Amino acid sequence: MADQHDTVDDGQLLKILIKKRGSVKFRLTHLVKQLDAVEKDISSIEELQFVEWKQKADRMPLLWDEFAGIQCQIESLSDEPDQFQERVDFENKYEVFGQVETVVEKIVRSREHKKRQILRFESNQCQR
C-alpha cells in the first residue's frame, strides 16, 4: 500500500518534467555552440572529432524523441501558453540537426580533398 509520500501530484510532476526538459534543451544548446566553433575551421578536424560529430548527428533524432515525450507530458498537465511555446522554440533550435549533418558532409569532403591532394603529390613525386 502506497503512503502519501510515494505519490506525486500533478504540480510536482510538472516541476520534474520541466527540469528534465531543461536538461534536453541544454544539450541542444551546447551542441549549437560546439557547431558554431567547428564550422569556423572544418579543415582542421581530426579523425576523432569526425567520429564524434558523426555520432552526434546520429543521436539527434533521439534527442528530439526525448524532448517530444517530455513535452507531451507537460502539455497534458498544463494549459499555460508558455509551455506550448517551448515546443516551438525547441523545434526552431532543432533545425541545427540539418547543420550537424552538413558539417559532417563538409568534413567528409574536406578529408577526401586532402587525400586526393596527397595522392596527386605522391604521383608527381613518382614521375620525377
- Taking only the tens place, the pLDDT of each residue in 70-123 is 999 999 999 899 998 999 988 888 777 777 777 778 777 877 877 787 777 777
Nearest to 29 by CA among 65, 72, 63, 53: 63
Domain boundaries defined on the chain: 10-127
Give residue 78's Cα distance to chain centre.
27
Cα gap 37→124, rounded to integer Å: 36
Confidence of residue 4 (pLDDT cuts 50, 70, 90): very low
Burial class (CB in 10 A: 0-12, 13-18, 19+), 100: buried
Confidence check: pLDDT of 56 > 50: yes
Q: pTM above the 0.75 mark?
A: no
What pLDDT does residue 17 have? 96
